[in-house]
């Protein structure tokens, strides 16, 4: 059962690819995504049971050596985080819109998990570094009160780490904006 997610971030693309290979060889985990991200970094995100993800991330950190930027393991992650990372979420409808932006990819994953656990929300996209100069953002929807609760949960995490760029709530987004988000 895939109830944990782990990520290792590298400042070397070559070392990241090598480490991702080792990470999946050492443990029974699946790659959620492994790719280069701006500005010239590499991330490997895996999922599986908690112990397997912890072992995999430990191996990734060891392989990274001096090329390690950051790593995380989130046990009991909200299942909706996985499709959001892949951008494969199509909500029933977009009500209020929440947008959370962070300077850190790992902080954004932690915040997205907290956001989705805080209220009845649907993820839209969890974008990690691609075309963002190394930043990350998370978009999500629900009723206005739920989005406010989610933004507050995410803001608390990102501000505590000093990595919040911005957080915005759009109570009633234009129908002309929605297609650009999906």
Asked if residue 65 has pLDDT above 90, the reply is yes
Angle between helices 144-160 and 105-118 (to 10 degrees): 140
Mean pLDDT of 54-62: 97
Q: What is the pLDDT of residues 99-148, one digit of tens each?
A: 999 998 999 999 999 999 999 999 999 988 877 788 999 999 999 999 99
| Burial class (CB within 10 angstroms; exposed 0-12, middle 13-18, buried 19+) of 91 | middle
CA 34 to chain centroid: 12
Beginning with the edge strand found earlier in the chain, give each strand of the sheet holding 4-10 in spatial order.
30-37, 41-48, 4-10, 68-75
Whole-angstrom CA distances from 174 to 31, 94, 96, 97, 181 are 35, 10, 10, 10, 11
- Residue 120: what pLDDT? 94
Do 172 and 143 contact (CB within 8 A), yes or no? no
Q: Which residues fall within 8 angstroms of residue 36, CB to CB, at 6 or more apart?
A: 13, 16, 42
Q: What is the pLDDT of residues 143-179, one digit of tens each?
A: 999 999 999 999 999 999 889 999 999 999 998 888 8
Measured in degrees and rounded to the nearest 5, phi and psi for residue 135 equal: -85, 175
Whole-angstrom CA distances from 172 to 74, 93, 96, 143 are 32, 12, 5, 9
- 3-class DSSP assignment, residue 127: strand
Asked if residue 90 has pLDDT above 80, the reply is no
Q: Which domains does the chain have, with CATH numbers?
A: 4-75 (3.30.70.1710), 81-181 (3.30.70.1710)
- The H-or-E segment that residue 111 falls in is helix 105-118
- Residue 1: what pLDDT? 55
When pLDDT is cut at 50, 70 and 90, the band that residue 88 belongs to is: low
- 3-class DSSP assignment, residue 95: coil
């Amino acid at each position: 059962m895939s109830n944990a997610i782990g990520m290792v971030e590298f400042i070397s693309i070559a070392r990241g690819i090598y480490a991702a290979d080792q990470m999946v060889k050492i443990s029974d985990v699946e790659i959620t995504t492994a790719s280069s991200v701006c500005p010239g970094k590499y991330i490997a995100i895996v999922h599986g049971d908690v112990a397997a993800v912890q072992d995999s991330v430990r191996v990734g950190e060891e392989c990274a050596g001096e090329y390690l930027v950051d790593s995380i393991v989130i046990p009991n992650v909200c299942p909706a985080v996985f499709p959001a990372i892949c951008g494969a979420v199509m909500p029933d409808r977009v009500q209020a819109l929440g947008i959370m932006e962070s300077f850190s990819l790992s902080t954004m994953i932690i915040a997205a998990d907290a956001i989705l656990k805080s209220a009845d929300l649907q993820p839209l996209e969890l974008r990690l570094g691609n075309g963002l100069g190394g930043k990350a953002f998370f978009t999500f929807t629900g009723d206005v009160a739920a989005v406010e609760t989610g933004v507050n949960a995410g803001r608390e995490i990102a501000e505590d780490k000093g990595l919040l760029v911005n957080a915005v709530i759009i109570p009633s987004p234009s129908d002309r904006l929605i297609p650009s988000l999906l």
